[in-house]
Amino acid sequence: MDIKNYPAEPYRVKVVETVKMTTREQREKVIKEAGYNTFLINSEDVYIDLLTDSGTNAMSDRQWAGMMMGDEAYAGSKNFHHLEETVRDIFGFKHLVPTHQGRGAENLLSHIAIKEGQYVPGNMYFTTTRFHQEANGGIFVDIIRDEAHDASKEIAFKGDIDLKKLEKLIDEKGAENIAYVCLAVTVNLAGGQPVSMENMKAVRELTNKHGIKVFFDATRCVENAYFIKEQEKGYEDRSIKEIVREMFSYADGCTMSGKKDCIVNIGGFLCMNDDELFQKAKELVVVYEGMPSYGGMAGRDMEAMAIGLQESMDFSYIEHRVKQVRYLGEKLKEAGVPIVEPIGGHAVFLDARKFCPHLKQGEFPAQALAAELYLESGVRSMERGIVSAGRDIHTGENHKPKLETVRLTIPRRVYTYQHMDVVADAVIKLYEHKEKIKGLKFVYEPEQLRFFTARFEHI
């Protein structure tokens, strides 16, 4: 692997946080007390934390300076207006409703846009998104291209919607029975896979014919824009900001978790162009979040988000961000470790089916692998497989996704290439004695979003 292909960090370190080094004996106690669920481990017991890139970012000096300009007025905060202006400039949407984080926006959208029994097609499910859709009477339908479910298939834009699947759904169910199309950019559970601009245009053209709205899950839209610039013909000379603006021109609105590509620690928003939907969202945000001009965020957080969104448009930032992830993935590939390919924008996904072929899916191989990686090295990761998929709300049976993965998620502007070397070495070492990894069973299973708080023990 040629290190020259990977740019140095486009930032200087100003503040450091000391991390605790633990022994294997200490980690054995920690993981057992956590019920073999990495979500239940205290952060002070983690060496390198790759649980998520959500809210784990390092903010810039400009963002911290902006925090000091927080206008904490209950209504009409100047920071809200700054955020609104920034989102309009970059995304192009007419209306903005701030929320405490992305799932707050998902909740609002599901309430106002879904009628009981309507279908919500999307390019692969996401846990909280599908929960809100189903909780509000919607029926999720996966319309992602088939290749996205094959971890070893290395093709560009695996996150694309299969237009034939969408057209078939419209023909069978009727356009009036489709709430909206939920198009994620990028697709998290497919391995952080991007969607092509060509596909977004085609989805927009098809839905326009039938009067169906399209809402993007914009959580990692800047990463998606980088892949378009890198891999889609005609965009190599376009700026990240120009690409993002065109992406959202093919949508009626979006939900956004600002904890990712806005490079902050908390916050989100819902955007739309429709005046009537906006009025409903403003009325409902008061019930669930707060006033329409803060919606669950402090003024200082809105200011940091506006600045972070502007900073994310910088090519040097996003190139390093995506290539740092790629660096880790390429090191694992060179060692023969099975991962989801191609390498996505925010994480490297270990293929737990191939990593632990001796474990059946019902023995939770990805959960077991994540627990064992922590025990081996102090590196915290996350299960993204049968546990995260949950149960069918009608039959109670486990959803059984084709992808059974462990997500090594890289926070923004936090770790160095040397940290990626440590992670790679830990995974490779674990792979060398993978047959010793034991399967797990539930000892506590919550009814909703079980992966957050479930507890397990070895079979």
Catalytic residue among 220, 384, 412, 434: 384
Considering Cα of 352, then 355, then 359, then 363, what sign does the dihedral take?
negative
CB 305 within 8 A of CB 257: no
Residue in the structure block whose two tokens are 């991962």 = 339
Q: Residues near 311 by Cβ (< 8 Å), separated by ≥ 6?
A: 60, 62, 63, 263, 317
According to DSSP, residue 212 is labeled -
Q: How far apart are CA 413 and CA 126, in angstroms?
A: 25
Q: Which of 199, 315, 313 is nearest to 251 (CA)?
A: 199
Q: How far apart are CA 130 and CA 405, in angstroms?
A: 19
Q: Residues near 349 by Cβ (< 8 Å), separated by ≥ 6?
A: 151, 191, 192, 339, 340, 384, 403, 405, 406, 407, 408
Catalytic residue among 91, 125, 126, 364: 126
Whether 415 is a known active-site residue: answer no
Catalytic residue among 130, 260, 300, 413: 260
DSSP β-bridge partners for residue 216: 183, 254
Whether 126 is a known active-site residue: answer yes
Catalytic residue among 71, 160, 217, 301: 217
Whether 217 is a known active-site residue: answer yes
Whether 227 is a known active-site residue: answer no
Burial of 16 (0-12, 13-18, 19+ CB in 10 A): exposed
Catalytic residue among 74, 429, 441, 452: 74
DSSP β-bridge partners for residue 348: 408
Whether 384 is a known active-site residue: answer yes
Cα 300 to Cα 256, 306, 308, distances in angstroms:
18, 10, 12
Q: Phi, psi (5° rounding) for residue 141? A: -130, 125
Beta pairing, strands 95-99 & 48-49: unpaired
End-to-end distance of the chain based on CA atoms, in angstroms?
39
Please tell me whether residue 271 adopts helix, strand or coil conformation.
Answer: strand
- Residues classed as catalytic: 74, 126-127, 217, 260, 384, 451
